[in-house]
Structure 1
Amino acid sequence: MQQFTRYLCCFVLGACVALSLSISSSEQAYQKSIYHDANFPLLVDIIDTIETYYVDKVDRETLINAAIKGIFDKLDPYSGFLNKEGYQALNDANRGEYFGFGFEVATDDGQITIVTPFKHSPAERAGIEAGDKIIKFNDTPVDETNYQSVLTEIRFHSTHNYAIKLTLKKASSHQEYALTLLPDFVYIQSLESYILEDDIGYIHLTSFQEDATQAIVEQAKKWQDNDLKGIILDVRNNPGGLLEQAISIADLFLEQGKIVSTNGRFFDANEDYYASGQSIFNNIPMAVLINKGSASASEVLAAALQENNRALIFGETSFGKGTVQSIIPMLGHSNAVKLTIANYSTPNGNNIHHKGITPDIEIKISAVTDHTNMPIIVPQNLIEPNYDQQVASAIAWIDGR
């Protein structure tokens, strides 16, 4: 037990070293964009000309915002401009609470796809499921030409406490349905954990927010006197979050090996991350559960454990988001830019973008947010009417070991 506690202390100390990707020279980049871009005066002249001569009065702020929108329309859908409210909402979400509609989205084949409806959120209460696609927003059709604007409008309605009307297409049946959502406070608990039948530890990781790694460390301390036969790590319907948390959680479970590699155009975006050598839950089998709602940081973690032969992956092919975003505050302002700065590859060098992670044992069931299939997990028991085939299969595999 003393050795186990020492390992935990070493890990916590190491976790204090920042792993997050950031841009330290943003001020220099900003100055370069002004003084070295020959086309910048042209943009200023166009804004001045429109403001002075256009038949209808258009204020400068409106024109600048339109120019910013046009810039991000040329980038990938994961990049965008965050105003003060949006920047604050993102920071709040990384701390596990925010005011909004309670769903995470990504783009898939030119459509906005629901990655995850958070538990007890307006989205979950309305019956939205992982994999559903938004086809209309406030009666306006959504496609690849306007989805960036739709995402901006959703954030705007959230921060101003406005209702939104969505028309969605079910992932399971392809039937269309419409609903109206009102924003509300959403509280995201990063971790749920239980001891299941046959002394198997179950950890449901719902998001990679700031306290995720520490939550697992604390749970490991609580279980250090239990003679566990195995561990099930459930990242189904986990849309991701902070990359540094995915790396440090993978480090928790790995004694050695590469965790992930990132590559981009600027120096700091190119990095290989390796396990530190101190790990927990050693020498017991481990299963990881994924589905189509497992994205981004969830895929980083699952791939690291799969390709280092630490865990067997059960479930469905994951979402397939293989890019890394950084939040870059704008100097002198209270807003920020969310910018895709790198791609990432798995320990074996695989790019999973638009492909996802293929499980070792494929078990297709309805989305776990389906109320008819929602797994209800309690200590020492799985309630039979809500039988979860993926959890049951993982238990059977661990028992067989």
Structure 2
Amino acid sequence: MSGIIRNFSFAAAGLALGLSLTLFGQEHTQQYKTRVDYPVLLDVIDTIETYYVKKFTEEELIEAAIEGIFSKLDPYSSFLDKQAFSNIQESNDGEYYGFGVEIATDNDQITIVTPFPQSPAELAGIMPGDRIIKLNQQLVTADKLESLLSEIKQHSYDKQAIDLELVRANSETSYKVTISPSLISINSVEAQLLDNQIGYIRLSSFQENSTQDLVKQLALWQTKPLNGLILDLRNNPGGLLDQAIQIADIFLDRGRIVATEGRFFDANSDYYASPQTMVKSVPMLVLINKGSASASEVLAAALQENGRAKLIGQTSFGKGTVQSLIPTLTEGNAIKLTIAKYTTPNGKDIHSRGIEPDIKVALETITTDESMPIIDANSLRGDIAEDKLVNSAIAWIKTEK
């Protein structure tokens, strides 16, 4: 395993499966200076600043140049100012200020990946798979994702509400909401022991202490041998890669977990399970849906392709590229850059395809006519006994036993 720190970074700005790198040094500085001195770019900026009919400052033009560079890249690459970089770091600690919603492009549409528990987005009724068609009364399209995210972030920084018009997943029914930003706290691991000694663990994201919290929970159940284990990854948008790898390693005693592939040396790595494991002989099911993305897809694929667990639910989101958070020479800023792709243990590229469950359950069989979950899929606040997908998993475990 390479010595650099790797993570699945997630924030309100969108999904980011990533490798966190620090690339400071003389070579990096020299390359930076060479590019700053590039004469054509400087000439263009100077000419516009001097002669254009509307006044622009040099700072504004440099920002526009940066935006132009990232418009040539994929929607997961962006420049992060101090506030945006800080938000990502805070979200990995389980707390940040914002609207509490993950957004990405899917089939050329701006799509909700998932709202976070008790967030303004969830409380407003926003659901995974819903498509944003208007922001503050303005039409939005997939090619305007970056500007949409920037406007949402700016409203969050300014503590201002936003107006959204969305279309429900699998329908043409639209609805409007107004949401205000607030402090979002995410408890990544929640658990409950169900009847018949079946353990249920809801993993809502991959944060700094997720593996530690999961191990503590499994240790509490050691005195009560489990007949089965249900790991719920529905609406889990991702998080820290090292946590996803460590959690996979908890359940696997051999086999590849994930592989990354990119142009530079440290972007190429294979991760394998160690012999140590917990709940080895316990039948295991993993729940996934359209809101399962990035790190949750890595974990699900590792358990599925190594034969440790069956997947039940709907096809996952399909986020198979790797981003790096690279601090810039300007203190506090960073670049979120796609540097590689990842593949599953069997070498599959799931980007834009998702992971197919072993047991596919149609969305309409577990939701109401408005595509609303029968219980809150993001936490254990609802009556889990009424969750039809969980009941399907329990029935499968009983059959296996």
TM-score of the aligned structures, taking structure 2 as reference length: 0.90
Instruction: Select between 111-120 and 173-182 the one with higher mean Cα deviation.
Output: 173-182
* Alpha carbons of structure 1 residues 182 and 371: separation in structure 2 relative to 1, 3 Å: same
Amino acid at match of 1:374: I
Tell me the distance in 2 between the aligned counterparts of 1:83 and 1:353. Answer: 28
**Is 1:105 matched up with 2:135?**
no
Among residues 118, 142, 145, which one is paired with 1:144 in the alignment? 142
For 2:392, the equivalent position in structure 1 comes to: 393
Matches within 5 A, 1:7-86: 18-20=5-7, 21-27=19-25, 28-35=27-34, 40-86=38-84
Shift, 1:54, TM fit: 1.9
Shift, 1:365, TM fit: 2.9
Tell me the distance in 2 between the aligned counterparts of 1:93 and 1:278. Answer: 30
Residues 342-376 of structure 1, C-alpha deviations (whole Å, 9 max, x = no match): 10000000000010000000012358796561158
Check whether the contact 1:196–1:378 (CA below 8 A) recurs between aligned residues.
no
For 1:129, the equivalent position in structure 2 comes to: 127
For 1:6, the equivalent position in structure 2 comes to: none
Matches within 5 A, 1:1-400: 18-20=5-7, 21-27=19-25, 28-35=27-34, 40-365=38-363, 371=372, 373-374=374-375, 382-383=384-385, 387-400=386-399
Tell me the distance in 1 between the aligned counterparts of 2:335 and 2:5. Answer: 20
* Alpha carbons of structure 1 residues 62 and 378: separation in structure 2 relative to 1, 3 Å: closer
Tell me the distance in 2 between the aligned counterparts of 1:55 and 1:375. Answer: 54
Check whether the contact 1:239–1:296 (CA below 8 A) recurs between aligned residues.
yes
Check whether the contact 2:286–2:309 (CA below 8 A) recurs between aligned residues.
yes
Tell me the distance in 2 between the aligned counterparts of 1:239 and 1:357. Answer: 14
Residues 196-239 of structure 1, C-alpha deviations (whole Å, 9 max, x = no match): 11001110000111111111011122112111111110000001
* Alpha carbons of structure 1 residues 194 and 320: separation in structure 2 relative to 1, 3 Å: same
Tell me the distance in 2 between the aligned counterparts of 1:23 and 1:211. Answer: 20
Tell me the distance in 2 between the aligned counterparts of 1:32 and 1:291. Answer: 44
**What SS does the aligned partner of 2:303 have?**
helix
Residues 123-161 of structure 1, C-alpha deviations (whole Å, 9 max, x = no match): 011110000011111122111331111111111111111
Check whether the contact 1:111–1:142 (CA below 8 A) recurs between aligned residues.
no
* Alpha carbons of structure 1 residues 41 and 378: separation in structure 2 relative to 1, 3 Å: closer
What is the root-mean-square deviation in Å for CA atoms of aligned residues? 2.2
Shift, 1:329, TM fit: 1.0
Tell me the distance in 2 between the aligned counterparts of 1:270 and 1:300. Answer: 16
Check whether the contact 2:384–2:390 (CA below 8 A) recurs between aligned residues.
no
Shift, 1:80, TM fit: 0.7
* Alpha carbons of structure 1 residues 186 and 119: separation in structure 2 relative to 1, 3 Å: same
Tell me the distance in 2 between the aligned counterparts of 1:198 and 1:29. Answer: 58
Tell me the distance in 1 between the aligned counterparts of 2:380 and 2:196. Answer: 13
Residues 150-187 of structure 1, C-alpha deviations (whole Å, 9 max, x = no match): 11111111111111111111004321111111101111
How high is the sequence identity, in percent, across the aligned residues?
54
Tell me the distance in 2 between the aligned counterparts of 1:342 and 1:117. Answer: 27
Tell me the distance in 2 between the aligned counterparts of 1:181 and 1:30. Answer: 42
Instruction: Select between 355-364 and 22-31 the one with higher mean Cα deviation.
Output: 22-31
Structure 1 ranges of 4+ moved more than 4 A: 16-20, 366-372, 375-379
Tell me the distance in 2 between the aligned counterparts of 1:323 and 1:170. Answer: 26
Tell me the distance in 2 between the aligned counterparts of 1:150 and 1:142. Answer: 7
Amino acid at match of 2:248: A
Give the count of matched residue pairs: 382
**What SS does the aligned partner of 2:160 have?**
coil
Query: Please, which runs of 5 or more residues in structure 2 have no aligned partner?
Result: 8-18
Check whether the contact 2:260–2:343 (CA below 8 A) recurs between aligned residues.
yes
Tell me the distance in 2 between the aligned counterparts of 1:61 and 1:241. Answer: 33
**What SS does the aligned partner of 1:131 have?**
coil
Shift, 1:289, TM fit: 0.3
Tell me the distance in 2 between the aligned counterparts of 1:239 and 1:18. Answer: 20
Tell me the distance in 2 between the aligned counterparts of 1:17 and 1:254. Answer: 23
Tell me the distance in 1 between the aligned counterparts of 2:380 and 2:232. Answer: 15
Check whether the contact 1:86–1:159 (CA below 8 A) recurs between aligned residues.
no
TM-score of the aligned structures, taking structure 1 as reference length: 0.90
Residues 54-75 of structure 1, C-alpha deviations (whole Å, 9 max, x = no match): 2222111111111111111111
Query: Please, which runs of 5 or more residues in structure 1 have no aligned partner?
Result: 1-13
**What SS does the aligned partner of 1:226 have?**
coil
